[in-house]
Chain A
Amino acid sequence: MNPLTTLAYIDPMSGAVVLQLIIAFIAGVGAFFRHTIIGGIKRIFGFGRQQDASS
């Protein structure tokens, strides 16, 4: 099955496509570094230490 029929006959309006690529890139970066980001937030607000202390 050929998956590449998109853009066969409509004008995709480049601005909307580029914007989606940017959103997808930001979402991808966010997903890749999510553990680092969440860990950093926890450290800043001290959630991790409280959990460590209680355990």
Chain B
Amino acid sequence: MSVTRVAGSFRDPSGFVFLRNEEVFRSIDDQCFETLMQLADEGNLDDWVERQLIVGTEFIEEGPLLDDLKRELPETQHFLRHERIPLVTYPYEWTVSMLADAGICTLDLQIELLESGHSLKDATAYNVQFVNGKPTMIDVASIERPSRLDVWFALGQFLQMFVYPLLLNKYRGWDLRSYFVSSLNGRDIESVAKSFGLLERFRPGLFLDLTLPLWLHRMSEKKQESKRDVLEKKVTNTAPQIANLKRLRSKLQKLAASYKPSGVWSSYTNICNYDDEADSAKKQLVRDILTRSQPGEVLDIGCNTGTYSFLAAECGANVTSVDGDHDAIEILYRRLKDNPASISPLVVDLANPSPSIGFMNVERPSFLDRSQPGCVMALALMHHLLVSANMSMDAIADQMHSMTNRDLIIEFVPTDDSMFERLMKFRVDLFQGVNLENCIKAFDAKFELLEKHPIPGSKRTLLYFRKK
């Protein structure tokens, strides 16, 4: 049986994550094992798993599986098995509310840990993943039993990963992709402070978490002496830290609530040209195909606010919903919080999807490497790729071929459709050759056309392909 170490799991000296036979395992050292065992004995671990604060986790304590794992990884004594996350996502693919909720999940877990005398030794956003639209902590090896419980040493990292990007978004309009892709682990306090004027740093929202730590940081940088003895002192009073964590929790909630989605495509469902007949006919056609084909994993590209993602989830699929428009995904995420479903919403620009980045360019794999769906749905998307992204029909067919493992559902929008004409308003018409016949021809080399359905009440056609 081959064991594949997860490329991003190399920083924590207490263990690492690996894949074996499609299952996720974690190797941990004695100290981490004892810490987690204590939490399990107290009943905390099961409680947190049930409440989805941490990912499903079980100890591999005996039996042939443990013998096999020890034989394959002889340097490790203890193993955990984790619930598999349908699709690993990264903060540069999240929306403002998703990042805020991931931060709140981290804070909630930290507060619970403090009550049992434990703490998180790091607070990176990559330790949080979304399952059915709800954040959950995946790095249980981050739990430790520190000396001081009044101070959280990972607070600085927490500010860099959660608070600063949200402050920069609110006050400077930064998007999360710009913040994280160029600085995978968040920006340092000096560079964040440079984005704000001297007077602006006295703003109540910035002073306590940016300006004051910056001054103290500069002062302590000047003093060269080590203060480790202060940090190693035993203090059991958790009250100051819990008060600070609750303040941060409230701050993140307010930052998320103050964000008002206003992107062009987030209001697309209000301006699109479907009448009721066409809308319900299209939904029925898509539902029929998904129910018959049962693709398992569906990738809904150009998903907008997720109407068809919810439909695919109702048909039993695990859905990854992507759109380049942050605000459309923000609305989808808010819908998902009210109506939980097996949907992972992501901000991904298909003309420039998330690249492979980080250590050795493999630490955080590209979006295309992580997503291997049984079906790709591209409903009313092709004309955007043709016009806005200047992609050719052949290039689109190539891209779809590389994205799907099996099926492809496309909604073809002809050039005389009002939404196509709307896109062409101020552009040179280079699309005379764009018609249904040429579309099918472009896909013919890589796909077999299984079904072709004109959508009643519209000029559009639904095409159902299977990968050759």
| Residues of A bordering B, CB below 8 Å | 1-24, 27-28, 31
B263 to chain A, nearest CB (A): 33
Please tell me if the beta carbons of A4 and B147 are within 8 angstroms of each other in the complex.
Answer: yes
Please tell me if the beta carbons of A21 and B121 are within 8 angstroms of each other in the complex.
Answer: no
Q: CA A27 – CA B145 in complex, angstroms?
A: 22
CB-contact partner of B145 in A3, A13, A14, A31, under 8 A: A3
Counting CB contacts under 8 A, is B60 at the interface? no
Chain A residue at smallest Cβ distance from B14: A5
Q: Mark B39-60, 1 if CB is under 8 A from A, else 0.
A: 0000000000000000000000
5 pairs across A/B with beta carbons < 8 Å?
A9-B12, A10-B121, A13-B156, A15-B212, A21-B230
Please tell me if the beta carbons of A15 and B153 are within 8 angstroms of each other in the complex.
Answer: no
Known interface pairs A3-B146, A13-B213, A15-B217; A20-B244 also in contact (CB < 8 Å): yes
Inter-chain contacts of A13 with B (CB < 8 A):
155-157, 159-160, 188-189, 213, 217
Please tell me if the beta carbons of B31 and A19 are within 8 angstroms of each other in the complex.
Answer: no
B243 to chain A, nearest CB (A): 8
Counting CB contacts under 8 A, is B35 at the interface? yes
Q: CA A21 – CA B121 in complex, angstroms?
A: 17
Q: CA A10 – CA B228 in complex, angstroms?
A: 14
Given pairs A5-B121, A10-B153, A13-B160, 7 additional interface contacts (CB within 8 A):
A5-B144, A6-B146, A6-B153, A6-B231, A13-B189, A20-B155, A31-B237
Chain B residue at smallest Cβ distance from A8: B13
CB-contact partner of B151 in A1, A2, A4, A21, under 8 A: A21
Q: Count the B residues whose beta carbon is within 8 Å of the partner chain — how many?
A: 48
Please tell me if the beta carbons of B156 and A16 are within 8 angstroms of each other in the complex.
Answer: yes
Please tell me if the beta carbons of B244 and A17 are within 8 angstroms of each other in the complex.
Answer: no
CB-contact partner of B156 in A5, A15, A21, A31, under 8 A: A15
Please tell me if the beta carbons of A5 and B31 are within 8 angstroms of each other in the complex.
Answer: yes
Please tell me if the beta carbons of B214 and A15 are within 8 angstroms of each other in the complex.
Answer: yes
Please tell me if the beta carbons of B154 and A10 are within 8 angstroms of each other in the complex.
Answer: yes
Inter-chain contacts of A15 with B (CB < 8 A):
156, 189, 212-218, 220
A-B pairs, 5 with minimum CB distance: A13-B156, A15-B217, A15-B213, A16-B156, A24-B150
Chain A residue at smallest Cβ distance from B124: A10
Please tell me if the beta carbons of B155 and A16 are within 8 angstroms of each other in the complex.
Answer: yes
Inter-chain contacts of B214 with A (CB < 8 A):
15
Q: Mark B218-243, 1 if CB is under 8 A from A, else 0.
A: 11110000001011100101011101
CB-contact partner of B121 in A6, A16, A19, under 8 A: A6
Inter-chain contacts of A9 with B (CB < 8 A):
11-13, 122
CB-contact partner of B155 in A1, A5, A17, A28, under 8 A: A17
Known interface pairs A13-B155, A14-B221; A1-B34 also in contact (CB < 8 Å): yes
A43 to chain B, nearest CB (A): 26
Please tell me if the beta carbons of A3 and B144 are within 8 angstroms of each other in the complex.
Answer: yes
Counting CB contacts under 8 A, is B94 at the interface? no
Q: CA A31 – CA B150 in complex, angstroms?
A: 13
Inter-chain contacts of A2 with B (CB < 8 A):
31
Please tell me if the beta carbons of A23 and B35 are within 8 angstroms of each other in the complex.
Answer: no
B5 to chain A, nearest CB (A): 17
Inter-chain contacts of B216 with A (CB < 8 A):
14-15, 18-19, 22
Counting CB contacts under 8 A, is B152 at the interface? yes
Please tell me if the beta carbons of B156 and A11 are within 8 angstroms of each other in the complex.
Answer: yes
Chain A residue at smallest Cβ distance from B152: A20
Inter-chain contacts of B11 with A (CB < 8 A):
9
Q: CA A28 – CA B240 in complex, angstroms?
A: 9
Please tell me if the beta carbons of B14 and A7 are within 8 angstroms of each other in the complex.
Answer: no
Known interface pairs A14-B217, A20-B150, A23-B244; A7-B156 also in contact (CB < 8 Å): no
Please tell me if the beta carbons of A27 and B240 are within 8 angstroms of each other in the complex.
Answer: yes
Chain A residue at smallest Cβ distance from B159: A16
Inter-chain contacts of A10 with B (CB < 8 A):
121-122, 153-154, 157
Q: CA A11 – CA B188 in complex, angstroms?
A: 10
Please tell me if the beta carbons of A17 and B231 are within 8 angstroms of each other in the complex.
Answer: yes
Inter-chain contacts of B152 with A (CB < 8 A):
20
Inter-chain contacts of A17 with B (CB < 8 A):
151, 153, 155-156, 231
